[in-house]
Amino acid sequence: MNPPVEGETRTFERTFTVADVERFAELSGDAQPRHTDADEDGRVMVQGLLTATMPTKLGGDNEVLARTMEIEFIRPVYTGEHVTCRSTYETVAERDDRYEFTSAVDCENEGGETVLRATIEGLIWKDA
């Protein structure tokens, strides 16, 4: 585990597939037609909460336990569209047994348009 550092940015990139959306629809129960019926280009709209797994993945990489996640979905994401997610530690407070932090998250599509914005508060336990 790497201690969080104020101003540090971590990045994760992903392109969602139709199979990803189908698996998430099965798991979550969110199988609205917009997530199952392809458009004229063969794409389906990615569930918002599936897109929100991108900051979750970044947190998992650093053993984050999220306390709150405030997420704003700005525009839809479609299968085949490349998305880049950046998470930046805005504040970090070191405690005896943990780090408490706030993080700003911004996810953009390949055109540079913001698709998701979030603020996360959480903690990272220190190694025992």
pLDDT digits (tens, 9 = 90+) for 11-25: 999 999 999 999 999
Into which CATH architecture does domain 9-15+53-125 fall? Roll (3.10)
In terms of pLDDT, which residue wins out, 112 or 3?
A: 112
Spatial CB neighbours of 45, under 8 Å, sequence gap ≥ 6: 21, 34, 35, 76, 77, 78
pLDDT at residue 127, rounded to an integer: 81
How confident is the model over 42-63, as a mean pLDDT? Answer: 95
How is the chain split into domains, by residue range?
A: 9-15+53-125
Cα–Cα separations (whole angstroms), residue 101 to 51, 85, 91: 22, 18, 5
| Exposed/middle/buried for residue 50 (C-beta within 10 Å: 0-12, 13-18, 19+) | buried
